[in-house]
Amino acid sequence: MAISNRVVNLDGPTAGQQTEGRRGFNKGFMTFALILFLVGTLYIGLAISLTQALLYLVGGVLGITLYHARYGFTSAWRNFIVARRGAGLRSHMVMFLIANILFLPLLLRGHIFGHPVVGSVSPVGLSVFVGSFLFGMGMQVADGCASGTLFHTGGGDVRGLLVIVGFIVGSVLGSWGFTWWQGTWNVGPVSFIHSFGAVGGFLFNLLLLAIVFFGTLVWERRKHGSIQSMVRGGGSGWKAIVRGPWSLFIGSVILAVGNAVVMVISGGAWGVTFAFALVGAKISQAIGIPVAHWGYWQVPSNATALHANMFANATVVLDVSVIVGALLAASLAGRFPKPYFRRFPARMIVGLLVGGVLMGYGARIAFGCNIGAYFDGIASFSLHGWAWMVCGFIGSIIGVKVRPWFSLSNRAD
């Protein structure tokens, strides 16, 4: 089978694609999305709690932002690997900095509105190194990360459904092997705040952010003689607020604030992949696999989630609402892409499934994905977030090299 030279990018449409063929709102999908928001909020609020209902609405805003800002993690890393274009990476550093500023007082206080607040600080060791490497490779092969898969699916790209299937399978396998991986070498959790104090920890994290930010500027200018702006690229006027596109900078600000709001409401940072593990575990139980006996599902919080209503879990609520938010954003943009509903090359289908499995397995043993470990870890001043970034980036380099095997182009966006 010939390898396609056509760029097929799950990590977000380009600006040209975003504006192509706009003929007003897609009223049918817009109405459907609004109904899902209304019914979902009422059901979760009445059946679970007001807290979960609020999270559902916040997740919708995150989904809208991811779609309108075309906010990619997979494409950001790939663009730097392939073309040394670093606007996406710089936007991540800005997002992390804003999140640091918002997270710090919450983490120092330790509680808000009567409930504890906990950052994402996890052990640093072999499981993080291997898991993030697998995730980085998988997200390039699957052509989208964890958050990217959600908003692509909501935005009408049905390939995301295949990635989710792989994600669920990989998550189950990862939860099965979780206990073994936790017995491998590690130095325990390392918090910059605990190691250097509040001011020292903040400044040390800021130094690392600055190294990446300005390092990409220097590298990109040497390569191209110019740099891409993360501020430009959005639409102008009030219409662009509703219909997009938004700039990467605007996306960074809203996602950072949204993550802080999630922490205020739920006591923990935004997560994505635990929901896939939970769905997989419930399916496994239904067909007779005794997942409750596995070490991962004997962790008290995980065991509680396994036996509770799915929507009692914050990650499930956020994942569903991100998809619905992206659906609403796509309908407001007047773009629900019919070309994605086509037959895909067999190689691509294999890549989507394999990439999903790698990400699902990697996220479980590495304490999270591009959101739960990379974003949340660095935002929480944790060394494991930076370790995840380094090893995930190395995995992405390998993933970029094998993308053509799965009918995916490496042309920079």
Render pLDDT for 270-287 as a digit per residue (tens, 0 to 9): 999 999 999 999 999 999
How far is C-alpha 196 from the geometric centre of its chain's CA atoms? 29
Which tokens belong to 25?
Answer: 């709102």
Closest CA to 120 of 375, 364, 310: 375
pLDDT at position 25 is: 76
pLDDT at position 23 is: 54
The Cα diameter of the chain in Å comes to 60
Closest CA to 353 of 173, 161, 177: 161
* Res. 410: pLDDT tops 60: yes
The string of pLDDT tens digits covering residues 99-152 is: 999 999 999 999 999 899 999 999 999 999 999 999 999 999 999 999 999 999
Q: d(Cα 145, Cα 393) in Å, to the nearest integer? A: 12
* Res. 11: pLDDT tops 60: no
Query: What is the C-alpha end-to-end distance of the chain, expressed in Å?
Result: 25
* Res. 1: pLDDT tops 80: no
* Res. 60: pLDDT tops 90: yes
How many beta carbons lie within 10 A of that of residue 342, not counting itself?
Answer: 7
* 116 sits in which H/E element: strand 115-116
More confident position, 336 or 12: 336
Helix (H, G, I), strand (E, B) or coil at 21: coil
Q: d(Cα 217, Cα 192) in Å, to the nearest integer? A: 26
Q: d(Cα 8, Cα 17) in Å, to the nearest integer? A: 12
Percent of the chain scoring above 70 in pLDDT: 92
More confident position, 201 or 340: 201
Closest CA to 8 of 180, 182, 140, 197: 140
Q: d(Cα 117, Cα 267) in Å, to the nearest integer? A: 4
* Res. 14: pLDDT tops 50: no
Closest CA to 331 of 151, 155, 159, 158: 155
Lowest pLDDT segment from 149-153, 239-243, 291-295: 239-243
Closest CA to 192 of 387, 390, 365: 387
CB of 328 closer than 8 Å to CB of 244: no
Which tokens belong to 191?
Answer: 């918090």
Q: pLDDT confidence of 342, banded at 50, 70, 90?
A: low
* 314 sits in which H/E element: helix 314-332
How far is C-alpha 101 from the geometric centre of its chain's CA atoms? 20
Q: pLDDT confidence of 158, banded at 50, 70, 90?
A: confident
Helix (H, G, I), strand (E, B) or coil at 320: helix
CB of 12 closer than 8 Å to CB of 246: no
Q: What is the DSSP letter of 351?
A: H
